[in-house]
Chains A and B, each alone.
Chain A
Amino acid sequence: KIYEPEVHSDRRKWRMRSVSVDLNNDASLVIDIPDALCERDKVKFTVHTKTTLSSFQKPEFSVPRQHEDFIWLHDTIVETEEYAGFIIPPAPPKPDFEGPREKMHKLGEGESSMTKEEYAKMKQELEAEYLAVFKKTVQVHEVFLQRLSSHPMFRKDRNFQIFLEYDQDLSVRRKNAKEMFGGFFKNMVKSADEVLISGVKEVDEFFEQEKNFLLDYSIKIKDATAKAEKMTRSHKNVADDYNHISGALNNTAADNNTAFKNMCVLQKVEDRMASDQELKLTELLRYYTRDIQAAKDLLYRRARALADYENSNKALDKARLKGKDVAQAEENQKQCLQKFDKLSESGKKELTSFKARRVVAFRKNLIEMTELEIKHAKNSVSLLQGSIEILKSN
């Protein structure tokens, strides 16, 4: 994707256009986010849909959506009982403009004490950082929608359709939903899953393996994400330093100017290396940390269903003993078993395809990251060698 920033007179307004080349695998429902507008740190995404499905009113349409709308959609899907056996695509994280905001602050404060070049440089840095945050947040919101559209069940979801199509503001619906669920369920899931999952007596070999794997992997991937974030941030700091150094060098060495101007470009290359590493590696890890959590949530729901089934068994035994409400207890037990079986069946499918998806994503991103690193490094080498030539010939 290529993002071209259009900067308006109010420099806090940014509009990105993306030239999308991507991976909607089913032509019957194709979703992308071609456009995003950042106004006072509130992002408005343009969600664009192309569909051949008759359930939609038009074959092609676009709507503006805010981050909170995505969260609403995610939450309603999570709360939907029918989807208990599926891995719910993780909600996209809130757009985080803290970094650029800080830089903007510094820029504003230090404007009087900086030279024109320094100011221009800092502004450039700022724009680059905004661009990076943008790229990330658009990507992650887009992927969320594409996961839904490519899933056989989710794509048919009523709320999903409303999200894509409804040309009015969704904020009223959002408020209602909040009142209904209050986010309680989500919190419960987060705190209880570890305990419940590890406590379950697992008969099924597949799920036993999956449980052990997911519990361990989720810890490791969380750690790897944190370390990758630190590493990428350090890399950005180094790139920033090159920026300042090249600025200062321009002032001192009038005699060796061309070579030092190359330091400027070197900085851009370092910066690109850092952000590509971030997009491909760090973002990948971040995403899969969330996805692993979603997989664990599935296990949790299944474990709860198993617990319910075991309870229903006990209730049935009690009822039989007492001779009261046996039919009811039998019915309850049957339903619990059904639910548990359904969850196990779909859960198995989901977890298997999840692994496949994960492997593919890692492969793709690792290859892309490596190719980009090689490209940038080769770029650096030729730049540097050019500078060395110039200096030696002087």
Chain B
Amino acid sequence: MSCMRRFCHETQSHDSLHSCMCRRSVALLLLKMSEERDPAALSGSAQTEGEEDLFVSAMESPEAARLSAEDISPSSNGPRDDDPDDPDDLFAEATEEVSLDSPERQPILSDGPSPAITPVTISPRVDVFDRSPDLDEDEEENRDTFDIQISVSDPEKVGDGMNAYMVYKVMTKTSLSIFSRDEVCVKRRFSDFLGLHSKLASKYMHMGYIVPPAPEKSIVGMTKVKVGKEDLSSVEFVEKRRSALERYLLRTVKHPALLKDPDVLQFLESSELPRAVSTQALSGAGILRMVNKAADAVNKMTIKMNESDAWFEEKQQQFENLDVQLRKLHASVESLVCHRKELSVNTASFAKSAAMLGNSEDHTALSRALSQLAEVEEKIDQLHQDQSYADFYLISELLGDYVRLITAVKGVFDQRMKAWAKWQDAQVMLQRKREAEAKLQYASKPDKLQQATDEIREWEGKVQQGERDFEQISKNIRREVGRFEKDRVKDFRVVIIKYLESLVHTQQQLIKYWEAFLPEAKAIA
């Protein structure tokens, strides 16, 4: 018996800045899950240690689901108790739905534009919290057999004028079973990537998952490309973007939960993708995003969290420091890239001048040596240029990526704060309801009393849920941060090694050139 419940959770927060939002989500009723499903696949709340706990949580969840089902605002759809078996239920309404790990492996996709509005609160989605059974212990094994290669290539301009856009070929090669084929090639444009990120962020960020940020928009860069300037700077811009998109995808699939996400799979595999218009800055969705960002910023200032866990305080401070240092480092590297480019230009200019001097020189041997010097300097200028590309693509872009990643990490800590706040709010509400009930005890209004008692039960449930959510997100964050730090160290080490190797190559070439020149210099007689 499969029950799909759709319900709306509306928050009524005392904070007037929390906008009233409606979010429809689908939750698999766990009754079915506990009956038919392999308990291991459930994983329950991820704190579970043994299998008994799985069953315990499976028993708890239906309660929670049912409780939440009752918390419905009159304006939304009620729970569809009438047709619980209808799998089409899911798609009957154009809702923004959450993808699930359904046992039948029917990926439930977010059709249409992804929720432009990031929900302020978390609706009880126990199942979504409880998915990804492979994490924790199995995670290491999975990473060892992590076999997926993604490349973004062949940028092509489509269309003309201001409506033109670039299309990139995304090729995925993998042996993982979740993919339908070993090798897939699709065409995607920049807004598709932004759309993907937007969906992933809305699904996972509030759970404490660090969702890799998408590459940044650039109005100036794109306008040049649209207008059709074939100059060096627009070629460089397209290459920079292509590389950034590739790194973005690789980071995204490195995350074990995101790799399995149906939106990600669809992005990589399906030949047609609905256009993500909500990513445009000036769309209605875009504006709402900006409003939310502002709201979030204010909330951050007003929430004063009692941090009981020193680990979080420490980590947050660490990330603050890392942020500052990375930005500084990034700035220094950008300066290096710039200066090296200058060096290349000046070396080329000197080479020309030395050649002219050689021509003018009337002593034959010296004249020849000067011409040779000019040739060497020309080769060196090319070396400098190549090195500056390495500087940029290896180091500078990596640093830029990490500066943005750290922003995502900080965002996840903020989500935890929000979860905490929600839990606290629920506790406050519960207290009020209890007080209200106590008052009603003395008045003789039995129906109101019943309602009050019901409400107390409801809010007790919310408090419990809030606490569970908070603990869950805390746990997720610990895991995510651990993974992030490991990845960071590895990433940096790999890139630094590559960079140092490029420097070695440059120096070895220099040696070659100068050693070839030395006999020429000695031959001056």
Please say whether chains A and B are actual partners in one complex: yes
Q: Which residues of A contact B (CB under 8 A)?
A: 209, 213, 216-217, 220-221, 223-224, 226-228, 230-231, 233-235, 237-238, 241-242, 244-245, 248-249, 251-253, 255-256, 259-260, 266, 355, 358-359, 362-363, 366-367, 370-371, 373-374, 377-378, 380-381, 384-385, 387-388, 391-392, 394
Query: Binding site of A, secondary structure by majority: helix, strand, loop or mixed?
Result: helix
B339 to chain A: which residues have CB within 8 Å?
234, 237-238, 241
Chain B residues near A381 (CB-CB < 8 A): 504, 507-508, 511
Q: Please, which residues of chain A bring their CB within 8 A of the CB of B438? A: none
Pairwise interchain contact A388-B500, C-beta atoms closer than 8 A: yes
A378: chain B residues within 8 A (beta carbon)? 507, 511
- For A227, give its contact among B340, B346, B514, B517 (CB under 8 Å): B346
Chain A residues near B504 (CB-CB < 8 A): 380-381, 384-385, 388
Q: A231-B349, A363-B522, A363-B524 are in contact. List 14 more A-B contacts (CB 8 A).
A: A209-B362, A227-B353, A228-B350, A231-B343, A241-B336, A244-B332, A244-B335, A248-B329, A251-B325, A355-B362, A363-B521, A366-B524, A388-B500, A388-B504
- The smallest C-beta distance from A240 to any residue of chain B, in angstroms, reads 8
- List the 9 closest A-B pairs by CB distance, nearest first: A234-B343, A241-B336, A227-B350, A363-B524, A248-B329, A366-B521, A237-B339, A231-B346, A227-B353
Residues B328 and A223 in contact, CB atoms below 8 Å apart = no
Please choose the segment from B303-311, B414-422, B491-499 that sits at the chain A interface, where 4 or more of its residues have CB less than 8 A away. B491-499
Taking the closest CB of chain A, its distance from the CB of B373, in whole angstroms, is 7
A-contact 0/1 string along B487-525, CB 8 Å cutoff? 001001100110011011001101100110110011010
Q: Is the interface of B mostly helix, strand, loop or mixed?
A: helix
A244 to B339, CA, bound (A): 13
| B360 A391 Cβ-Cβ under 8 A | no
Most buried by B among A217, A260, A367: A367
Give the distance in Å from the alpha carbon of A338 to the alpha carbon of B286 in the complex.
Answer: 93
State A260–B395 Cα separation when bound (angstroms). Answer: 13
Bound CA–CA A385/B329 (angstroms): 23
Q: Give Cα A102 to B248, complex, Å.
A: 43
Expressed in whole angstroms, the Cα–Cα distance for A366 and B369 within the complex equals 9
Q: How far is the CB of A278 from chain B (nearest CB, A)?
A: 12
Nearest Cβ in chain A — how far from B403, in angstroms?
Answer: 11
Question: For residue B501, which residues in chain A have a CB less than 8 angstroms away from its CB?
Answer: 384, 388
The complex places the Cα of A121 from the Cα of B492 at a distance, in Å, of: 24
* Contact (Cβ within 8 A) B518 A392: no
Chain A residues within 8 Å of B90, by CB: none
Nearest B residue to A368 via CB reads: B521
B72 at the interface (CB under 8 A from A): no
B326 contacts A by Cβ under 8 Å: yes
Q: Which of B326, B365, B492, B507 has the largest number of chain A CB atoms within 10 A?
A: B507
For this complex, 21 residue pairs linking A to B, each with C-beta atoms less than 8 Å apart, are A223-B353, A228-B353, A234-B342, A235-B343, A238-B336, A241-B332, A245-B333, A252-B326, A362-B366, A362-B524, A371-B518, A377-B510, A380-B507, A381-B504, A381-B508, A381-B511, A384-B500, A387-B500, A388-B497, A388-B504, A391-B500
Whether B521 contacts A367 by the Cβ 8 Å rule is yes
User: What's the nearest-Cβ distance from chain B to residue A238, in Å?
Assistant: 5
Q: Which residues of A contact B346 (CB under 8 A)?
A: 227, 230-231, 233-234
Q: Which chain A residues lie closer than 8 Å to B326 at the CB level?
A: 252
Given contacts A237-B342, A370-B521, A373-B510, contact A224 B497 (CB under 8 A): no
A238 in contact with B340 given A230-B349, A374-B514, A388-B504 (CB within 8 Å): yes
Among B347, B360, B362, which residue has the most Cβ atoms of chain A within 10 A?
Answer: B360
- Neighbour of A370 across the interface among B322, B357, B492, B518, CB < 8 A: B518
**Complex Cα distance A188/B101, Å?**
92
CA distance A381 to B333 in the complex (A): 21
Q: Does B182 make an interface contact (CB < 8 A)?
A: no
The CA-CA distance from A370 to B503 in the complex, in Å, is 19
Q: Is the CB of B332 within 8 A of A245?
A: yes
* B361 interface hit (Cβ, 8 Å): yes
| Pair B335/A220 contact, Cβ less than 8 Å | no
Contacts of A380 in B (CB 8 A): 503-504, 507
Question: Do A359 and B332 form a contact, CB below 8 Å, given A230-B350, A381-B504, A384-B503?
Answer: no
B363 CB-CB contact with A under 8 Å: yes
Q: Which residue of A lies closest to B326 (CB)?
A: A252
Chain A residues near B328: list those with CB within 8 A. 248, 251
- The CA of A386 and the CA of B347, in the complex, are separated in Å by 29
| B176 in the interface (beta carbon within 8 A) | no
Instruction: For chain B, residues 305 to 356, give those with C-beta under 8 angstroms from any C-beta of chain A.
Output: 322, 325-326, 328-329, 332-333, 335-336, 339-340, 342-343, 346-347, 349-350, 352-354, 356
Q: Pick the most buried of A228, A367, A370, A373: most chain B CB atoms within 10 A of its CB.
A: A370
